Amino acid sequence: MTNILVVEDNNSLRRLMRIHLDRAGYAVYEAADGVDALKVLDNTPIHLMVVDVMMPRMDGFELTGELRGAKIKIPVLIVTAREALEDKRTGFQLGADDYMVKPIDMEEMLLRIEALLRRSGISESHLMSVGGMALNQDSLTVTRGARIAVLPQKEFFLLQALLSYPEKIFTRQALMDEIWGYDSDTDPRTVDVHIKRLRERFHDFDNFSIETVRGLGYKAVVRA
Amino acid sequence: MTNILVVEDNNSLRRLMRIHLDRAGYAVYEAADGVDALKVLDNTPIHLMVVDVMMPRMDGFELTGELRGAKIKIPVLIVTAREALEDKRTGFQLGADDYMVKPIDMEEMLLRIEALLRRSGISESHLMSVGGMALNQDSLTVTRGARIAVLPQKEFFLLQALLSYPEKIFTRQALMDEIWGYDSDTDPRTVDVHIKRLRERFHDFDNFSIETVRGLGYKAVVRA
DNA sequence: GCTTCCGTTCATATTCAGTTCATAATCCGG
DNA sequence: CCGGATTATGAACTGAATATGAACGGAAGC
């Protein structure tokens, strides 16, 4: 069971998050601000935090700063209002962490959490669901409604990588690093071929698509 | 991901630095002297350099001088032996840069690097919000309200450059240097065309505009 | 041993971002 | 208000990047 701490002063938003996280099978802990959060962290092994940057008493920056100072490296999903993006202190460590802009789409939140957990090696659940599809890493299957497709390894992991961060552009090299391994000597163009096959395979499935960003790489677009 | 170039002729010290930087989540590049460093800089977008002042072939001063001449403003963390502090040439640009005295404490190095990145605004540069718009460099998108626009690279970086200093006048050459690279041989008039396309793209968006400063260049004007 | 399927490479077709060019519009000093 | 210079605009071009089709080799399964 994965423990998630939600640090959010807005009660109704916090409750909403709780509901969705509960439903997704996480154990949810709540805190209304940074001071509360630290208390919870003292008593419970938390695997991931969802933190609002704007809170009374101790805000998100102070909280994460406090944790970094104590060398605790829990992945943090930061929630911020668009205006707050201008805040100079927004310099959290991308790479381990991620952010979302309000208003929060619950579906997106779950996706990002799954991705963070996977990236930090915490997730044992090799399951992921995006836009009405379920990806199962153990069987390399993609389930959509009644249809089940078994994908070749490379195609599966490619799709999984892209869908972990919808809209985020992945360079070929980034995908190679993640899937083929950092030191592979396979031609990065191979990615193109797999992308083509994925597109072909899912061409009749309009919940998502893989788009080309010329000069950079590829990204997944998930539709509502 | 932040790219750091370590320029240090002492192999064991360089390797030690690499290990700590790796562990801190940076992408590390290495060079044994200034000449090597320039090669790396030609091929890779480096965000920060750690440079030893005492090196064979081309030393740290020559290297940073070279870069300044080429108007490249990468923050530099200078490593120096205590005796070398008296060197007259120590007049590097504090403000953007910082220095450390040997022996190097790795913990301290990481702190200084973080500070430099924060100061130079690189660690947060993937996100920017101006006048109700959010620019996301990871996806080359501009979000305004519910609408999301994906821009071609050149247009995106042009817009980002202008908006990062509203009201500041950029000459075509300055924009070329920053986006195309200082050694590009593209006609500076090309900027005009991209400006036109940006204006067209955002003509129905009145939170900002790009204005011509005759004889000088362009500037962005953001409205309240 | 034969077949099937995956991953890769290669050769070729297609696309499009970026650039250039030609021309029109605008500005500004005199 | 004229003329030279600067900028805007529309359109064409092009080369690099991507898509596509096909073929090859090797591993797994039969």
B150-175 confidence digits (pLDDT tens) = 899 999 999 999 998 888 899 998 89
Calculated CA dihedral for residues B150, A174, B42, A186, nearest 10 degrees: -130
B16 phi/psi in degrees, rounded to 5: -60, -45
Share of chain A above pLDDT 90, in %: 20
Chain A residue numbers with beta carbons less than 8 Å from the beta carbon of B138 are 168-169
A39-94 confidence digits (pLDDT tens) = 888 777 788 899 888 777 777 777 776 666 555 567 888 887 765 555 444 444 43
The answer, yes or no, to whether residue B46 has pLDDT greater than 90, is no
Which residue from B118, B150, B152 is facing A91, i.e. has the nearest CB? B118
- Give, as one character, the DSSP assignment of residue A223: -
- The predicted pLDDT at position B115 comes to 63
A178-213 confidence digits (pLDDT tens) = 888 766 788 999 999 999 999 999 988 888 999 999
- The predicted pLDDT at position B167 comes to 87
Residue with the bigger pLDDT between A114 and A72: it is: A114
Q: Is the CB of A175 under 7 A from strand C?
A: no
**Region A104-117: what's the mean pLDDT?**
80
Chain B residue numbers with beta carbons less than 8 Å from the beta carbon of A219 are 139
Min Cα separation A148/chain B (Å): 31
Q: What is the CA radius of gyration of chain A?
A: 19
* C-alpha to C-alpha distance for A154 and A77, rounded to whole angstroms: 28
Which residue from A86, A95, A96 is facing B129, i.e. has the nearest CB? A86
The answer, yes or no, to whether residue A139 has pLDDT greater than 90, is no
B131-157 confidence digits (pLDDT tens) = 778 788 878 888 776 677 889 999 999
Q: How far is CA A100 from CA A24, A50, A103, A184, B124, in A?
A: 19, 10, 9, 33, 14
Q: B122: nearest CA in chain A?
A: A91
State whether residue A98 is helix, strand or coil.
Answer: strand
Q: Average pLDDT over chain A, rounded to whole?
A: 80
Q: Which nucleotides of C are covered by protein (CB under 7 A)?
A: 5-10, 16-21, 27-28
| Greatest Cα pair distance in chain A | 53
Instruction: Look up residue A184 and give its two tokens.
Output: 């592979």
B9 phi/psi in degrees, rounded to 5: -85, -25
- The predicted pLDDT at position A22 comes to 87
Q: How far is the CA of B217 from the C1' of C19 (A)?
A: 19
**Region B191-206: what's the mean pLDDT?**
91
B69-121 confidence digits (pLDDT tens) = 554 567 788 887 755 554 444 444 433 467 777 788 887 788 778 766 655 54
Q: How far is the CA of B196 from the C1' of C11 (A)?
A: 39
Q: How far is the CA of A157 from the C1' of D28 (A)?
A: 20
Chain A residue numbers with beta carbons less than 8 Å from the beta carbon of B126 are 94
Which DSSP helix (H) or strand (E) runs through A53?
none
Share of chain B above pLDDT 90, in %: 19
Q: Is the CB of A152 under 7 A from strand D?
A: no
Q: How far is the CA of B199 from the C1' of D13 (A)?
A: 23
Contact yes or no for B138/A168 (Cβ under 8 A): yes
Q: Which residues pair with A150 in a beta bridge?
A: A141
Q: Average pLDDT over chain B, rounded to whole?
A: 78
Min Cα separation A186/chain B (Å): 21
